[in-house]
Structures are given as C-alpha cells and as structure tokens.
Chain A
Amino acid sequence: MKTKSFLYPIALAIGLPLTAHAKLNVVATTPDFAAVAKAIGGDRVEVTALAKPTEDPHFVDAKPSLILKLNKADVLIEGGAELEIGWLPALLQGVRNPRIAIGAPGRVRASEAVELVEVPATLDRSQGDLHAMGNPHFMTDPVNAVLVARRIADAFCRLDTASSEAYRANLKKFEATVDSKLVEWQKLLAPFKGQRVVAYHNSWPYFARRFGLQIDLFLEPKPGLPPTPAHIADVMTKMKESGARVIIVQPYLNRHTAESVARNTGAVVVDVASFPGGIKGTEDDYVKFMDHLVTSLANALSQSAANKP
C-alpha cells in the first residue's frame, strides 16, 4: 500500500514496528534495568531504554519521542527514589497509558525492591541536590540487581502468564550467573579490601559496600555542584594521606578535573560506566557491564599498588 511504503522507512528509522505483536513491550528508564529485563524476558519481550548509557540519568530530555514509547508500553521499569524526577513525571503527564499507571501491574519501581542507603535525615538543599528517599544508584550491587530482576520477573509473569515458566527459568539462570560471577568479582577485589577510591559523584555506595571498598572522596564538593579549587586541594591532601590512587569517572563527567588531580597525586583515572553500554562492548548485558566495572577497577588498583613509591 502506498501509505505503508511511505511509513515503512520512517518506522524503520525510528525503530518502531508497524504491526502489533504478542511480545511484551517493555520500557526501562535506564539501560541497567533494560539489561536485566532482557535477561529475564529473552526474546519474549521488546525492551527499550529511555536514557542513553552515556548520559547523566538525572537530566534526560523529556523528548516527545519518549512520550510515544511510553504510550505504547506494556511495562515501565523505573528506578524511582527521585532518580528520574527531573524528566519522567513530565513525560508521564502526557502519556495516557493506564497499563503503566502507578499501581498498575505493568509498573515496576525498582527502588522498592532494595533497601536504599543514605536517606537524608533532614531535607536541606544547602547540602546539594540530595535524594530525599536515599541514594538511587543501587544497581552496581549485583545482589540488588537480583532483587530487581525478581520484581521484573513477577511483572512479566503477571502480564504474560503463558510464558511465566520461561521467565522463571530465565530468572533462575540470571540468579545462578550472578551468583557465580559474584564469587569471581569478590575474589578480584578482595586484595584491595578497605582501600580508598575517589569518584566524581556519589554514585557508588552500594558497589563499595558489596566489594569492601571505601568510595567516599568526591571531586564534587556537594552533590550536583562543580569542583572548586579549595575542595580539590582538600581531596588531594586526603588522597595523599590515605594513599588513594584511583579515580573513577563516568562517561558524562568532566575528565579534565580528574586528570589534573591524578597528575598531582600520582593516581590513575579509570573510565567506568554506571550503565551497560556506557563503555563499548557492555551493551545490553548486566554481567558484562559488571565484569568491566570490576576488572577495570581491580586492574587500576593493582597497577597503582605496583607504582607505589
């Protein structure tokens, strides 16, 4: 048909199917939830992530194309805990999709599955842009990923009972993989237990807790504020005192600051991502993503130990 032949390239270009299918249409706000959803859903689901793996997840543009994706979704997986507060509410206002309304079977709020840390006792923005419900960067702890995976599997089973056995089997497989991988990852980082690592933003408390690292020095003076010379000087002093020689930087953060700190302290800068796909080769795969995160950190830590004066 004429209309179809006209629409087809557009549909292809923006990655939308023209025909309806029985697959569950899953939309995840960030690529980590998308990766877990893919592991659970396999080829029975179509998964889209709204945020790019390289971008700052707090500041995604509420583009109209995302409204359309949410409008057609059967499942919405969000982090919650104010991770997407700057953009998801604006999108949902216009989405008019009861399948993913709050409380609907298709709405999965991942933060409800895990216990959040760093819940501020008082809300005070003079302390920077705090998250009122706790730190929302919980997916770098594999145990949390499993808890979230179970929530996702529950949602898939609710909505697609015919395939629930497959989802349960995939969940088992995912749990088993993460189980055995966790042993490996903990072994890799065990020699560096208690060591201090510097980060730009406080995105790593769950990771640090799981792997026995101390990631409590930040280039940001307060959450969301740019580094100041005085603060950087303070960080460098603390690095020298505690022998911290590794700085981790996410793709969207200013690498220059980290590099100049590294030059002055003899530290190494390590590129890590908080999302699958943030570093090439880790797309759509939670285990690959964690593999990269753990090995690159372990390598940097052993390298910095070898370089010690």
Chain B
Amino acid sequence: MPAVALRAQEPDQATQIQQLQQQLRKIQENFEETLRQQRQQIEALQKQIDALQAKTPAGATYQPPVATSPPPATASPPPAESGPPKEVSQAQETKPAWSPTSPITLIGGQRSYLNLSFDALFAAGGSTADDIPHLQLGGHDPVQRGFTAQNLETVFEGYVDPYFRGQASLVGHIAPDGDFHFEAEEAYLETIALPANLQVKAGQFLTEFGRINPTHPHTWSFVDAPLVVGRFLGAEGLRNPGARVSWIAPTPFYSELFFAVQNSQGATAYSFRGSGHSHDHEGDDLIFGRERIERETDHLGDMLFTPRYAVSFDLTENQTLLVGASATFGPNNTGQDTDTQIFGMDFLWKWKSPRHHAGFPFVAWQTEVMARRFEAGAFAFDENGDGMPEVDLPRETLWDYGLYSQLTWGFQKGWVVGLRGDWVSGERGAFYPDPDRDTRWRISPNLTWYPTEFSKLRLQYNYDDRENIGVDHSVWLQFEFMLGAHAAHKF
C-alpha cells in the first residue's frame, strides 16, 4: 500500500533532514565561534594601539575625540556624520581585554587583595604652659614646643574571604625624648555575611563609645583630643582585645545596637585596670592619689562591657541627626573590688548643601557629654616610716563630668573653620588638688585648609583655664598627608 511505503520512507527522510540540520548548526556554531575569536583579537590589538597612542606625550591625560585620536575601539556604532546612526541595539558589551600596556595596580583600587595606605600627622607650635604633656591629654596630641610627630599610621584593609573583612592600623609616634613608639592600634576582623542583621567584630579595636573614641586622630576636626575623652577614656583612647556584636534593629529609621566585651587591663584601659596617665609619664602609676594595685582577671565580671545604641534620622533632605548613648563598665585597680562606670551621650547634626562640590559647603555640630563613677579604694602610704601615713585616702566614690561641643563650617571648597568648647570637672574627693580631676575648660578656634582630600593644614589656638594652675595659651599648626588607597569616609 502506498501509505505503508510512504511511512517506511518517512523515518529515513526525517533522519536525513535531522543530520543535515545538525551539520548546518555545527557549521554555524563554528563560524560564530571563529567570528567571536577574531573579534576579540581585533579588539585586543586595537586596545594595544590605543594604549600605545595614549602613551605618546601629545595625549597627556585627555585626547580630543575628533581632532587627533581615531574613534575608540568599541563595537558600538561610531557617531554617524549624517543620516541615521546604526541601531543602538546593536551595541555590544566589550570586556576590556588585558594588554601588556595596561596599568598594573599593585595595591588598592579593587585590583589587589589588600588596600594599603599611610597617613602622617605632624604638629608644630608652642604653649605658655610649662607642663605641656599634662596640658594636652591625648596620647597623639602635640606635647612639646617645636614639632611633634603625632601619628604615623599604616592601614591594611581588605576582604579576607567571603565571610570576613580585615583591618589593621599600625601606629607610630615619636615621644619628646625622641623614642619611636610603635603600636598595633587596631587589628580586627568583621563578619560580612551573618544572618539576622548581625555583625561580629573581633580582635584588637577601639571601643565604640561615643564618636571620638572609635576614630583615629587624623579624622578629627581639631588638633587634639577633647579633654573629656582624654580624662575618662585615656590618652590612647579606650581600646583592647575583645569582641563586639552589633545588630541593626528593624525600625523604620536607622538604629543599631552594639555590645562589646574586651579586656579591662593595660595602658589602653585608663579608668579601669589600666596603668599610668599616658605614655608620656610612664612609671607614674598613681590614679587619683592612689596606687594602682595588682588585680587579676578572675571571672567574667572582670572584663570590660560596653553597650551602645545609636539612632539616626534625616531631618530634611540635607540635614541628618545622629544620636547615641554609650556606657562602659569594668573593674578598676585601686582596690580588689572597685568598679568604674562611664556613661556617655553623643549627638551629631550635619547640614550639607544639596549642591555641594567635594563635600562643601557643610555645617556640623557635634557634642559628647560623659559622666564617670569611679569607686576608689582606700590607700595609705607612710613615706618616712614614722607610723603616721602622710597619704591616707579613704574608700570613696568619685563622680566626674565632662563635655565638649564643636561646630565646624566648611564655608567653601577645601576650607573649614571650627570652634570647640571643652569642660571637665570632678566632685571634690579626699585627694585634692588633683589635676586629673579638677575643673578645667578650654576654648579652641581653628581654621583648616584641605588642598585635596589627601592633605591638610590646620591652625588652632587653645585658651586653657585649669583650676589651681591658671590660664595658658597654645598655638598649634598641624599638617597631614596621606598616601595609597583612597579611604572611604564614615559618617
């Protein structure tokens, strides 16, 4: 039957067609592949030509598109002189191919595993005070007439792996005696992929208490540390090995909760089981008239605990408010069972022009208020051995208060004028006078010029009034430069 014959023939024909189609497809694929390869080769070569041309002195940084340089090597249509241009939709993505003349960035710029930068901060000037190291409370403040190498900082930063980001700041400064002090100021990792809006930071880090303490001196708007920060958190700031967890709360505005646990001993835990005032008078191991005693870490309660809560609102398109409350609790070493608590509120209001150029103009007002409760242990010392101690201090609770408030106005590109007021005071204790607790205030106007974001020059005047000591005037000129990877600025 013809139908049967037809059917018998059908599969044969079908397979033949299939085979031919396959062949055709293969040839097409080969053709396209060759085409693609050749196109890539052409692009690579064209790029090499471009790169070589760009290196000729005539094309310093920019080549006029029409006058001297040939149309750039994109597969996208060149500008048509007349008539309709080719379809934009024919535009091709071209992956920049590597060529021997491509610039090679070793460090930074998202082309290396490590962003490396170096920042140097110096000051020059003088003061009417005879005891400048006592006048200036920050460990990186200018501390002598003439020049001070305030802060020489090398920062390493980068992603460790898909789970962690790592950062380390190695800081050096030159003490008045000429000794170079070097310290691992910070070295920590931070998680980047924890669920539930959590983040953990672990290692050696500046405690997130208030606004100044977690930041480095070269980011500050003034030459020196605020008095309250130096007095309560120590010359080197509050920082120690530890771990911190933070959580972005599911509120409709930004609000973040931090909780840190750190060691409470060492030179960087001044109000706790610390040592000395600052590294400028090492060996002087007295605090509030009392000797610092040996106190071990016996239990969890001997650690330093720092909770913080920060909220922020955009008041308008151009105004932002950031308010934080911090506290830090830990033992101190004036007794075996004495503790310290520091409480702080911080406040930042900032206006930035909606048409700012390089961040200018802006106005920022920042204030921090702190209170410290210090349980001081009893201390008696019989210097001449006559059985009647010359120093006999009772166990007592010492309350100290302090604040600073600073206003900065970036009035035109690169120029900032600032004014800061400082005030610190302590309720009178058995040890009096005590320059570490007596009332003092300070007014500091300054003017800063940023030639670019990688350098600055700052002139500052300090009017100091210290109870039981008197008035002093200081003038400091500060300069900074920065090399390496471009830093991103936190708010």
Residues of A within 8 A of B (CB): 7, 10-11, 14, 16, 18, 52, 54-56, 58-59, 61-65, 67-68, 71, 82, 85-91, 93-94, 96, 98, 101-102, 113-123, 125, 127-130, 132-133, 142-144, 146-147, 150-151, 175-176, 178-179, 182-183, 186, 190, 193-194, 202, 205, 208-214, 216, 224-226, 251-254
Contact = CB atoms under 8 A, between A and B. Distances in A.
A147 B165 CA distance: 32
Contacts of A210: 79
Given A52-B354, A90-B489, A64 B322 contact: yes
A208 to B, nearest CB: 5
A123 B490 contact: no
Contact of B314 (A18, A63, A115, A132): A63
Contact of B89 (A115, A175, A190, A208): A175
B199 A94 contact: yes
A215 B110 CA distance: 29
A86 B488 contact: yes
B338 interface: no
A224 B452 contact: yes
Contacts of B64: 208, 214, 216
A68 B358 CA distance: 24
A14 B320 CA distance: 12
Interface string B445-457: 0000000111000
B359 interface: yes
B181 interface: no
A224 B93 contact: no
B253 interface: yes
B50 to A, nearest CB: 9
B112 to A, nearest CB: 11
B94 interface: yes
A56 B88 contact: no
B432 interface: no
Contact of B317 (A52, A113, A133): A52
B313 A14 contact: yes
9 contacts: A11-B252, A62-B490, A64-B312, A82-B486, A90-B491, A121-B101, A146-B88, A193-B81, A202-B61
Contacts of A65: 253-254, 312-314, 320
A216 B61 CA distance: 10
Contacts of A175: 88-89
A96 B91 CA distance: 36
A194 B190 contact: no
Given A18-B252, A115-B96, A143-B76, A54 B355 contact: yes
A132 B197 CA distance: 33
A14 B255 CA distance: 14
B5 interface: no
Contacts of A94: 199, 248, 256
A130 B198 CA distance: 36
Most-contacted residue by chain A among B91, B248, B491 (CB, 10 A):
B91
Given A65-B320, A98-B193, A146-B89, A116 B81 contact: no
Interface stretch (B66-74, B129-137, B288-296, B372-380): B66-74
Which of B81, B88, B102, B491 neighbours the largest number of chain A CB atoms within 10 Å of its CB? Answer: B88
Contact of B320 (A63, A224, A251): A63
B54 interface: yes
A85 B488 contact: yes
Nearest to A208: B65
Contact of A67 (B72, B248, B487, B488): B248
Contacts of B428: none
Given A55-B355, A182-B88, A194 B486 contact: no
Contact of B93 (A88, A91, A150): A150
Contacts of B51: 121
B314 A253 contact: no
Nearest to A209: B65
Contacts of B359: 56, 59, 61
Given A64-B310, A65-B253, A101-B193, 6 more contacts: A55-B352, A56-B357, A62-B490, A86-B488, A118-B62, A226-B413
A14 B103 contact: no
B429 to A, nearest CB: 39
B389 interface: no
Interface string B191-202: 111100111000
